[in-house]
Amino acid sequence: MAIATKTQYWTSRMKGGDPAALTGTFNDSFTLASGGGAASGGDWLISNGVYRLTNPSGNKHTLVAVFEYVTTPADGTTLIDIQDGSKQVQIESTGADDSLRINADSSTTITGLDLKNAEDNPVPLILRVTLDGATTKVYTHEIINDDDGTEVFKTVTSDSESAGTSIIEIGPAGSGSVKWKAIYYTHFGAFAPDELLLSDFAQDTLARMGLGVVEQLKNSDRPYLKTQVPDSSIVYGYDLSSQMTNRLSSPSIHVLISSLNSPNFESLGGAKITQNYDVQVFVTTRGTNYENAYRAGLNIMGEVFDELYTQTGVQGTTDSITSYDAQLDTKMDDDETVCVHTLTVTYMRRIDMRHR
């Protein structure tokens, strides 16, 4: 996982308006390359046309599009085209309203869609396409795994392209009419749905703080975190019910953002603010007796604090830990051999509010 940093954000954000006239700070507009487009009920309708971003910087790209068909494009019509100068991915129409094709020479299709149903009441598709050199990944409705934990996104080999030009295009190029409800693009990397979210608020909260803490703990080289806690048992946002505890190997670490606030906006217009985050870490251990579980949990919680404090909490220009609170579990039952220690760490972070 490579969670987007505070300097990696969506560089083009279209929310139904003209892609060639995007507003807001740090928001690169597309140019109309062919055909035309027009406003349509809060969306942007493109009929047999192409909008293009030329020579975006970087060689890793992510584009998230929300769209539906008005007139179904013919089989082979390109809807999305991402090129990095040597590799390329295209999302094409299959000529049907329930599927899309990834690359012209690929047998990989996305099925089960409802782009334009018989009652003219389509279900807008949220499609994330990433290009990272030879690897293309396509996510539908921002879903990574299904209920059984099985990956449901598509991974294919990128096509080769010899033009040597980096471009991002949306269509349809050739036939049909497509309503584009939103287009988010960044040249900062090939990001999965849990690495760069559409909402900057959610990105700061869930990804950079919640999932970022999980990744930091998984990558720690401290003895207990490195050898005693399986990576699969360091998770974000799960409950502490007995059913969940039984599903994870012990010891386990649950991370949760319990609250955040910004008491004062520190610049005129709220361009930059300071936010405070309460990050709760629950360390669950089992032992042959409660004493062993208590001591193991305290050692793990100590390493959690040391890791977060030294690696994320003393960076004065980004994140700082301003306080912490440790609640050590107390044995309440003679048969109890499970111990849950709780560490709450308060972070202060400076946030740029202009990337929305």
Segment 204-223, tens digit of pLDDT: 888 888 888 999 999 999 99
Cα(198)–Cα(2) distance, rounded to whole angstroms? 16
Q: Is the pLDDT of residue 1 over 60?
A: no
Fold (topology level) of 200-352: STM4215-like (3.30.2000)
Q: Over range 267-294, report the average pLDDT.
A: 83
Can you give the pLDDT at residue 288?
81
Can you give the pLDDT at residue 73?
95
Can you give the pLDDT at residue 204?
80
Where along the chain do its domains lie? 12-186, 200-352
Q: Is the pLDDT of residue 11 over 60?
A: yes
**pLDDT band at residue 335 using 50, 70 and 90 as cut-offs:** low
Among candidate residues 295, 303, 308, the one with its CA nearest the CA of residue 337: 295
Buried b vs exposed e over 199-216: b needs ≥16 C-beta within 10 Å?
Answer: ebeebbbbbbbbbbbbbb
C-alpha torsion 284→285→290→296, nearest 10: -110
Least confident of 36-40, 119-123, 282-286: 119-123
Q: How many CA atoms lie within 13 A of 247 on its CB side?
A: 13
Q: Is the pLDDT of residue 351 over 80?
A: no
Q: Is the pLDDT of residue 74 over 70?
A: yes
E-strand ranges in 41-116 read 43-54, 60-71, 78-84, 87-93, 99-102, 109-111
Q: How many CA atoms lie within 13 A of 78 on its CB side?
A: 17
Between 118 and 196, residue with greater pLDDT: 196
Residues near 64 by beta carbon (within 8 Å), at least 6 away in sequence? 126, 127, 128, 129, 142, 182, 183, 184, 185, 198
Can you give the pLDDT at residue 245?
62
Query: Which runs of consecutive H residues, i.e. helices, occur in the chain?
Result: 200-202, 212-218, 223-227, 242-247, 290-311
Q: Over range 36-50, report the average pLDDT.
A: 94
pLDDT in tens, 106-136: 779 999 999 986 666 778 999 999 999 999 9
Residue listed under structure tokens 């799960």: 238
Among candidate residues 168, 169, 173, the one with its CA nearest the CA of residue 47: 173
Can you give the pLDDT at residue 316?
57
Q: Is the pLDDT of residue 267 over 70?
A: no
Can you give the pLDDT at residue 209?
84
Residues near 83 by beta carbon (within 8 Å), at least 6 away in sequence? 161, 163, 165, 166, 167, 168
Dihedral sign of CA atoms 311, 224, 150, 157 in order: positive
pTM given for the model = 0.84
Q: Is the pLDDT of residue 140 over 80?
A: yes
Give burial (CB, 10 Å; 0-12/13-18/19+) of 296: buried
Can you give the pLDDT at residue 318?
67
Let me know if the fold of 12-186 is the same as that of 200-352. Answer: no
Residue listed under structure tokens 């921002």: 142
Between 27 and 348, residue with greater pLDDT: 27
Cα(126)–Cα(46) distance, rounded to whole angstroms? 17
Q: What angle do CA 119, 143, 109 make, to 5 degrees?
A: 65
Residues near 118 by beta carbon (within 8 Å), at least 6 away in sequence? none
Q: Is residue 351 helix, strand or coil?
A: strand
Q: Over range 159-178, report the average pLDDT.
A: 89
Can you give the pLDDT at residue 203?
85
Q: Over range 71-81, report the average pLDDT.
A: 95
Cα(157)–Cα(102) distance, rounded to whole angstroms? 10
pLDDT in tens, 287-324: 888 888 999 999 999 999 999 999 887 765 567 888 99
Least confident of 60-74, 171-185, 325-339: 325-339
Query: How far lies 195's CA from each of 74, 132, 182, in Å?
Result: 34, 14, 19
Q: Over range 68-85, report the average pLDDT.
A: 94
Mean pLDDT of the chain: 88
Can you give the pLDDT at residue 95?
95
Cα(141)–Cα(2) distance, rounded to whole angstroms? 20
Can you give the pLDDT at residue 200?
85
Of the CATH numbers 2.60.120.200, 3.30.300.30, 3.40.190.10, 3.30.750.24, which one belongs to the domain with range 12-186? 2.60.120.200
